[in-house]
Chain A
Amino acid sequence: MRQSFFLAYKYITFHKIRSMVLIFSIGIIVYLPNGLKKLINESEAQMVERAKSTPLIIGAKGSSTDLVINTLYFQQEKTENITMKILEEVNASGFGYAIPVLSMFSARGFPIVGTDPDYFNFRELSLVSGRWMSFVGECVIGSAVAGKLNIGVGDSLVSSPENFFDLAGVYPLKMNVVGVLDPADSPDDHAIFVDIKTNWVIMGLGHGHEDLTNNYDPTVVLQRDSNVVKAGAKLYIYNTINLENMDSFHFHGDMDSYPLSSLIFVPKDHKSATIFRGRFESGEFTQQIIVPADVVNNLLQSIFRIKQIFNTVFILVGFATILILALIVTLSIRLRKDEIYTMFTIGSSRLKVAEIIGFELFILIGCSVIFAGVLYLLTGFFVEDFIRNFII
């Protein structure tokens, strides 16, 4: 046996390229269905876990999937906004409390999520360093943001402008990092949390500028009467909020009409949830209320169907691979006719030749399985990042 293994090993190592191609091909065929299964199972688990921990979401009518993806994973799909007034109405209903979510902008590739302190209690998030945000212009960052951008408490982040050519639109705002969250293995790790008002400042609904009451420069103040002061483009708008200029920040217009992406609604109990949902069904509210777990389950049904198609494809590919492997072995035996004859003439049996070829297959398949195993382990190592970057 040892000698047969030696001869098989020598044959495989001598024909390196041929062996490597076979090992990689078989390895990938073995790996793909298992790796995909792990990927789907892991993404299923992550998505379901997040969805199950969020009782209800309220948002504008439209795609419920986009609404869930926005609210749970901060993917910033284009959906209609709701207004602050809805938040007040929902809270006034007495069936539970609502947490506002406004996620439209980003900073260095990470979403800026405007919310209120209830969100952190609801998600049971804690700080690894610093403090919670208390003022407009402050932010608390997820652990992945801190790790990937190599920033922490005392550093700052500048919001990314939506469009460089829209001069009347969004201005970058420099936000001070006041806290870093503990890792939560959720999309919260990849978010920059700010007060909802900070988000409105980024939107341009609120701003701070130099005091105009005592400024009589005609290039700055265009018109002045007892109620209104009109300023020109020369007016200096602050792009950072600090103790010196904080008082100058103010919001224009009716705050009830200010936008929110959605609301996470936490009902008092199951009964409250049912009655409250009924009010949306009856048309008392014009928005939609959805159970995230239902939406995610529907989404997963689609993924599950894709998995079944993949599985069928892999079975067929695997069958084709076995056939090709059998063909390779047959052709190899034919090509090695001389070698086998030599072995017979000097005293080998057919069984011995079969044993040597068997060991060759054993080594090839063994190495392929090891290769597939390594890929599988790597999948396990990177699966969360992969899911976060490409799936949710």
Chain B
Amino acid sequence: MISLKNISFQYPNSDFHLEFGELAFQSGSKTAVIGPSGFGKTTLLNLISGIYTPQKGSVAVNGKTINRMTDSERRTFRLTNIGFIFQDFKLLDYLKVIDNILLSFRINKAQILNKTIRMRAKEIASLLDIEDKLNKYPNKLSQGERQRVAICRALLNDPSIILADEPTGNLDPENKQKIMRILFDYVKDRDSSLITVTHDHELLKDFDRIVNFKELYTNS
């Protein structure tokens, strides 16, 4: 379970101020976060993942208070518990698909890149139908394929929480459905939590819960 209480967060040198009372996400749930731009939806994901820590309040995941962890602990937590998916995929253009998928194992000592991980990467790539793209560079792939590579990278750690920031924002309707189906299937199979920031109202019917940031502000 993810629990955020009495949160107050402000970026340095900025007027933006995120403040709300309480927000919780159940394990195994699929939550869509909606609301106007600039209301702090992406900031919420960054707070849950421990990239940012709030000035006031607490962020707890499965009973562990993230904002009391050291930087190093938060990184390890992020690496082992969270899978991040972005609207613009954030793949590194100079790495082949396979190396992009394995990236998190190359940038943190807490994870060891071995044969098993490589096998798992290939298995997930096969599930996402990109096993023939592993030795290509991202710029040779379609938008939908790139997002599947990004999902593959996010799922490689077998995360208990998937944070997706507008994952279908750059995709055509067919790919949108495909990508969301992959994420929903994963959540269902692993009993993971999915928190998705989206502006796409067509997708909302498939989520268990919808958090409207506009209302969150009004309520708090």
Which residues from chain A sit less than 8 Å from chain B, CB to CB? 3-4, 6-7, 10-11, 14-15, 338-339, 341-349, 352, 356
Contacts and interface: CB of A to CB of B under 8 A. Distances in A.
Interface string B158-202: 000000000000000000000000000000000000000000000
A345 B51 contact: yes
A3 B106 CA distance: 5
Given A7-B107, A348-B107, 20 more contacts: A3-B105, A3-B106, A3-B113, A10-B95, A341-B90, A342-B92, A343-B103, A345-B51, A345-B78, A346-B103, A346-B107, A346-B153, A347-B78, A347-B79, A347-B107, A347-B111, A348-B108, A349-B108, A352-B107, A356-B107
Contacts of A14: 93-95, 137
B107 to A, nearest CB: 4
B75 A348 contact: yes
A232 B46 CA distance: 109
Contacts of A348: 75, 107-108
A343 B107 contact: yes
Contact of B84 (A6, A339, A345): A345
A14 to B, nearest CB: 3
Main secondary structure on A side of the interface with B:
helix
Contacts of B88: 338
Contacts of A346: 78-79, 84, 103-104, 107, 153
Contacts, number: 62
Given A6-B106, A347-B104, A347-B108, A11 B75 contact: no
Contacts of B84: 345-346
Interface of B: 46, 49, 51, 71-72, 75-76, 78-79, 84, 86, 88, 90, 92-95, 99, 103-108, 110-111, 113, 137, 153
B90 A338 contact: yes
A349 B92 contact: no
A35 B151 CA distance: 53
A10 B107 contact: no
Contacts of A4: 106-107
Contacts of B51: 344-345
A342 B79 CA distance: 12
Contacts of A343: 103, 107
* Residue from the set B51, B88, B106 with the largest chain A CB neighbour count within 10 Å: B106
Nearest to B154: A346
Which 4 A-B residue pairs are closest in the complex by CB-CB distance? A347-B79, A14-B94, A3-B106, A348-B107
A349 B110 CA distance: 12
Given A3-B106, A3-B107, A3-B113, A349 B72 contact: yes
Contacts of A3: 105-107, 113
B151 to A, nearest CB: 13
Contact of B71 (A7, A10, A349): A349
Residue from A6, A11, A339, A347 having most chain B Cβ neighbours under 10 A: A347
Contacts of B79: 346-347
Nearest to B49: A345
A25 to B, nearest CB: 21
B99 A10 contact: yes
A356 B51 CA distance: 20
B92 A339 contact: yes
15 contacts: A3-B113, A6-B106, A7-B107, A15-B94, A341-B90, A342-B92, A344-B51, A345-B46, A345-B90, A346-B104, A347-B78, A347-B111, A349-B71, A349-B75, A356-B107
